[in-house]
Structure 1
Amino acid sequence: MSELSNSAEHNFESYPPIFRRRPESQTQNIDTAFTDAINDDVPDSDPAIPVIDLQCLNLDSLGEACRDWGLFRLVNHGIPPALLSHLQDHASKLFSLSFEFKQSLFSSPLSYFWGTPALTPSGAALQRGPQKSISWVEGFNVPLGPLSQLEPEDPVFASFRLLLEEYGKHLARVATTIFEAMVMKLNLNLVEVKSNLSESTGYVRIYRYPLHSMANSTWGLDAHTDSSVLSILSQYEVGGLEVLKDNKWLQVKPMSNTLLVNLGDMMQAISNDEYKSVEHRVKLNKHRERISICYFVFPDEGSVIRSSKYKPFTYSDFRARVQEELKTLGFKVGLRNFKLTQTS
């Protein structure tokens, strides 16, 4: 029987080595830890994040959410709750594998990352020296296109592949519906911008954020914007996501059977800055690890984004520039590099 089929419940040995410190405060009574975690996760007053009903799309409400927030909760999305639950269960089993096995299991076109955002090589923060803080996150990067060609030997991993294929089809439908509604609200020509969102570019990232006794000063992911057109997040019981609104950080409480949609840099450029790419970050929890699953979708390869606010560019141009920024600067500059100046 393979290691995946035989995987045990979560333990610290499944973390990347740098995450394996277990402070005394994390060995407290499990009942107390669970109660404290629930209190930590739920803010006193959840921000009034807009709610969009996919079955009854209101273009005015959608436009307002995209302009003022850059994100919204999505209800009546048509994804079976059982599918979301099975994905969570399988993700937990995968993360409970040993660090070494995860590294060997997820090879091209899939990938396993830890300690850095997915676009940065694992351990890059350590290579740049102690002045650069490490991100307390590990994850699997799964392009959805090649999934059907994979034939994993382990039955649990094979089941996970099938679940991701089904999930990807649902998310492609959701993303396309939302994108076309946004284009309509922006009065853009759908024929001209249709290639700015391509289902073939979709991929899923599954994240695990380890528990940490210094959760208030250590981050799973530091503040950033996504490079996508749209990012669609499924987060479960453990909170930690925070978004920047009116220069204030607000916690985003998990809600059952509700997806969180946030706009990325590509959508901001497509909308001529009318819509915003929302800045967000992930806070750690003292007593419980957090697992979330996010779908990202991008423009078609070679599709040129044309905007009155930016120089014409493709997502490939943008991605190459961001990867160079992460390598040389340690942070993403992003859209500012493509902005038209007053004298252009």
Structure 2
Amino acid sequence: MDHDPPFLETYKAFLKNPLSDDTEDHHYHHHTSHSSLLVDSWDPPAIDFARLLLDEDRDEEIVKKEMIEAASKWGLFQLVNHKISQELLQSMMLEQMKLFHQPFMNKSLLRNYRWGNPFATNLSQLSWSEAFQIRLTDISRMDEQKNLRSVETFATKVTALVESIVEILAHRVNIKSTYFRKNCLPNSCFLRMNRYPQSPLSSKLFGLMPHSDSSFLTIVYQHKVGGLQVLKDTKWVAVNPIPNALIVIIGDLFQALSNGAYRSITHRVVAAEKIERFSVAYFCCPSDDTVIQSYNEPAIYRKFTFREYRHQIEKDVKQIGDKVGLSRFLA
């Protein structure tokens, strides 16, 4: 199809000689092995957000406790009854499909478009997907060109949700809620719209290779057929999607800021086998100069800025094709 990126042509050498489980680089084997793509399913905790809005203190405290426990134990939970309508989610998905289904040559000219992995050196580092990554401040500008009104509305509503969630999680670990209001602004937070085209070797490919998020918090709306898998108790499990639910993922920065109280979970997306899939992710990120420092002692991680963190990731990806992450910043 003329809207698909040229995966087959660009990565021809990888596809002709796909890595076997025996020949995979040991550096990646512990979290990128393709041998376990057929995994058990998992129903993460489902948090009923509407219960926070009731005039019942007991309900509110129960929901907060459930959220904090899930963030601490798993680093992930699903949010239901979040007041973002099914109609808006469906409209957003249609806008996204239209955006991705324009000819590849047109998409490739847009600065916020990306696909594959330009630094991949073997099949285990290849992400069979394409994405538009847009800062919140740029969505309205893109809307004028591509009619993304539902996407913009979704971003506005999710921003309000994130503010509520981080305030609850921050209070539990003695972080002032003003920290996020001061440092996580529309020009530093962004949306990533993803498309996972059908792939010829879905059992040997990732839609997105295993990683943890370089954010405080990530909110994901995934396709109804799923595709998201997480590393739970050293085993990969597929997250069973709840219709219209949002998935909340703790990122690296919250793990560092909370001094390990909250867990940044490693996750991946399997390649699409029979049908293309879509997802939208909202990343709550700080400005580059924001200092990430634990509020508790003894600190597990040394103090660093978000700029330092990003630059270290970029360096590692260029050198070894993968992100190393927080282990680079141990105290």
TM-score class, shorter: 0.7 to 0.9
How many Å separate the matches in 2 of 1:99 and 1:312?
A: 42
Give per-residue Cα distances to partners, 1:10-54, cap 9 Å, x unaligned: xx3311112479xxxxxxxxxxxxxxxxxxxxx997423111122
Farther-moved stretch of structure 1 (43-52 vs 167-176): 43-52
- 1:75 is matched with 80
Is 1:115 equivalent to 2:107 in the alignment? no
- 2:46 is matched with 51
How many Å separate the matches in 1 of 2:288 and 2:155?
A: 19
1:146 to 116, 132, 138: 138
Is 1:336 equivalent to 2:327 in the alignment? yes
- 1:17 is matched with 6
Query: TM-score when scaled to structure 1?
Result: 0.79
Farther-moved stretch of structure 1 (217-226 vs 205-214): 205-214
- 2:306 is matched with 315
State the one-letter code of the partner of 2:310. Answer: R
**Distance verdict in 2 for CA 1:195–1:311, change over 3 Å:** farther
1:238–1:289 contact (8 Å) kept in structure 2 = no
Query: TM-score when scaled to structure 2?
Result: 0.81
Farther-moved stretch of structure 1 (142-151 vs 53-62): 142-151
Matches within 5 A, 1:270-281: 270-281=257-268
Matches within 5 A, 1:220-239: 220-239=207-226
How many Å separate the matches in 2 of 1:78 and 1:235?
A: 17
- 2:293 is matched with 306
> What is the percent sequence identity of the aligned residues?
34
Aligned-partner SS, 1:124: coil
Deviation of residue 229 (structure 1)?
Answer: 0.6
Number of equivalenced pairs: 291
- 1:251 is matched with 238
Deviation of residue 305 (structure 1)?
Answer: 1.4
How many Å separate the matches in 2 of 1:44 and 1:337?
A: 30
Deviation of residue 99 (structure 1)?
Answer: 0.9
1:239–1:254 contact (8 Å) kept in structure 2 = yes
1:55–1:76 contact (8 Å) kept in structure 2 = yes
**Distance verdict in 2 for CA 1:260–1:139, change over 3 Å:** same
Farther-moved stretch of structure 1 (268-277 vs 185-194): 185-194
Superposition RMSD in Å: 2.3
2:128 to 123, 132, 136: 136
Is 1:90 equivalent to 2:95 in the alignment? yes
How many Å separate the matches in 1 of 2:167 and 2:273?
A: 41
Farther-moved stretch of structure 1 (191-200 vs 300-309): 191-200
Q: Structure 1: 5+ residue runs without aligned partners?
A: 1-11, 22-42, 117-122
- 2:189 is matched with 202
Q: Structure 2: 5+ residue runs without aligned partners?
A: 12-37, 53-62
How many Å separate the matches in 2 of 1:199 and 1:339?
A: 29
State the one-letter code of the partner of 1:16. Answer: P
How many Å separate the matches in 1 of 2:184 and 2:262?
A: 16
Is 1:326 equivalent to 2:317 in the alignment? yes
How many Å separate the matches in 1 of 2:198 and 2:115?
A: 14
Deviation of residue 150 (structure 1)?
Answer: 4.7
Aligned-partner SS, 1:66: helix
Deviation of residue 268 (structure 1)?
Answer: 0.4
How many Å separate the matches in 2 of 1:251 and 1:170?
A: 27
State the one-letter code of the partner of 1:329. Answer: I
Farther-moved stretch of structure 1 (265-274 vs 45-54): 45-54
Aligned-partner SS, 2:328: helix
1:143–1:203 contact (8 Å) kept in structure 2 = yes
